[in-house]
Amino acid sequence: MAMGPPDESRLAAASPDQPVHPSGWATRPLVPPIAAPPSEPGEPATIIDDSPGSASQPRTLSLTGWLVLGVAAVVMAVTTFVVPAWSAARSTPRVVLLGCGSSLSVLIQAGDARVVIAAGDDPAAYGTAIGRALAFSPGRIDLLIVAATGRDLGVPADLAGDDRVRDVVRLGAPHPGRETGDLPPGLAQVPPHARIEIAPGVVALIETVDVPDPDGGATFELAWRAEIRHGAATVTVLSDAEQAGEFAPLISQGVLVVARDPGPNDLGTLLPSPAGALVVNADDVDGSEIRADLPPLITTELPTIRVHSGSAVTLLLNESGVALPTDDVVIVQPASPTEGS
């Protein structure tokens, strides 16, 4: 994993125009059932010894023997079908959205690398979500990117002291009046335009803008946008819907994620857009708001996902596009001509 100077050509280049479909998870082979031993009801199964020089003597195969054979068959089936399918699925690059209360955090997994862009005010919710995302895996984080100020520092400040986190950097420069919480002093700052190579073919392009206080005060808000790309798959994460205007318009179709606090009129600033799916923080956006506000803004059906606190929603980055978890998707239909008039 390497972090280098900004790649302006990559930031300006459009990804291939690939629609996103809620294709869900690939079907995995099931363990085949074990055939029952051939025996007559009430009689033990027998094995006939036909070796030369020996009389044919019936011998009873004990229950323990059948159990051993059954276990061996299950182990063989699991190692032949289930384990390879599970390993293949885990090797696919992914973006996991973690519900952390006031904001979403983002786990990026590619190869052996794990990067977390952290924000949110609920460390307990993060712990539950990351536990689901990394089930049966060590909790190691290779790079923690602090992407928050104020109350949203609860999660990254808690993680920064975790000995399973190997390296910590921050977005945005310190400013007078900007809260830093309990972050370790002297954290390295990510450049305003950064390109992080997480694994071969998997990159994160992160833009950071310091938004001055509109009232002329000394405080600055932190706005950031991260594009995670792999092949034709793009997931764009925006720190706040209110800050969408701080960045250039989206030019690549993919999944748009809004991490924090879209207000009642902010969805209109995001859509229409080239996004093929929309993901929001369930703590900020009710399902009723999505059903009421989105239809007039879209011209085709739009897959939507709401991420709840403590939950983990996984987006698979396939070469051909982003695969959405079917169980979490709600399709929003555009308004009919009579509804829009």
Residue 286 pLDDT more than 90?
no
Q: Report, as an integer, the average pLDDT of 278-285.
A: 91
Residue 177 pLDDT more than 80?
no
Residue 71 pLDDT more than 70?
yes
User: What would the DSSP string read from start to end of 221-249?
Assistant: EEEEEEEEEETTEEEEEES-GGGGGGSPP
Q: Give me 169's structure tokens.
A: 């950097």
Backbone φ and ψ for 269, nearest 5 degrees, come out as: -80, -15
Contacts of 28 (CB under 8 A, 6+ apart): 81, 82, 85, 86, 89
pLDDT at 184: 85
Residue 299: pLDDT band with limits 50, 70, 90: confident
Match domain 94-340 to its CATH number in 3.40.50.2000, 3.60.15.10, 3.40.50.11540, 3.10.20.30.
Answer: 3.60.15.10
Higher pLDDT, 81 or 16: 81
CB-count exposure of residue 305 (10 Å: 0-12, 13-18, 19+)? buried
Contact 231, 320 (CB under 8 A): yes
Residue 331 to residue 301: CA distance in whole angstroms: 6
Q: Report, as an integer, the average pLDDT of 272-288.
A: 84
Higher pLDDT, 102 or 51: 102
SS3 label, residue 184: coil
Residue 77: pLDDT band with limits 50, 70, 90: low
pLDDT at 261: 66
Convert the pLDDT of each residue in 201-249 to its tens digit. Answer: 999 999 999 888 777 666 778 899 999 999 999 999 999 888 888 898 8
- DSSP H helices in 51-148: 63-77, 83-91, 123-133
- Domains of the chain, by residue range, sit at 94-340
Residue 42 to residue 77: CA distance in whole angstroms: 30
Contacts of 178 (CB under 8 A, 6+ apart): 149, 172, 219, 220, 222
Angle subtended at Cα 312 by Cα 241 and Cα 259, rounded to the nearest 5 degrees: 10
Residue 259 to residue 106: CA distance in whole angstroms: 9
Residue 7 pLDDT more than 80?
no
Q: Give me 20's structure tokens.
A: 């996103």
